[in-house]
């Protein structure tokens, strides 16, 4: 009998497996999603017993925008896909921040102050 089955009740193992199967990135940062994914994957057994299965499940849990960006990539390993997702999110955040800066700069300079006489 394995350590896990001996010391951890089946109900807890089943709960953790369900958490893993239901895991979605949602509003989590990719790094937070990765940490939860890796933690819960220890309870997933045959669902992640190959790199391909792990990569597939990770991809399906990502946000739609990241799935779209990663779709055409031919990621050979889970690690490669995970690194690409982290990079893509960083680029996405940088792009959004730049857009906001430009919008604020353009908005404030386009309104000239006029004085009434």
Instruction: Please count the structural domains in the chain.
Output: 1
> By residue range, what is the domain housing residue 36?
26-91
In a domain, 11, yes or no: no
For 62, residues 6+ apart whose C-beta sits below 8 A from its C-beta are: 25, 30, 33, 70, 85
What percent of the chain has a predicted confidence (pLDDT) above 70? 87
In a domain, 12, yes or no: no
In a domain, 86, yes or no: yes
pLDDT in tens, 56-77: 999 999 999 999 999 999 999 9
- pLDDT, the chain, mean: 89
pLDDT at 53 over 90: yes
pLDDT in tens, 16-32: 999 999 999 999 999 99
Rounded CA separation 70/101 (Å): 27
Per-residue confidence at 111, pLDDT binned at 50, 70, 90? low
Both structure tokens of 16: 């953790």
């Amino acid at each position: 009998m394995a350590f896990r089955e001996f010391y951890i009740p089946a109900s807890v193992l089943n709960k953790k497996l369900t958490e893993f199967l239901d895991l979605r990135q949602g509003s989590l940062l990719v790094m937070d999603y990765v940490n939860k994914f890796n933690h819960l994957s220890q309870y997933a057994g045959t669902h992640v017993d190959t790199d391909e299965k792990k990569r597939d499940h990770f991809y399906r849990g990502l946000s739609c925008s990241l799935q779209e960006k990663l779709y055409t990539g031919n990621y050979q390993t889970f690690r490669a896909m995970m690194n690409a997702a982290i990079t893509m999110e960083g680029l996405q955040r940088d792009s959004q921040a730049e857009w906001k800066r430009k919008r604020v700069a353009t908005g404030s300079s386009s309104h000239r102050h006029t004085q009434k006489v």
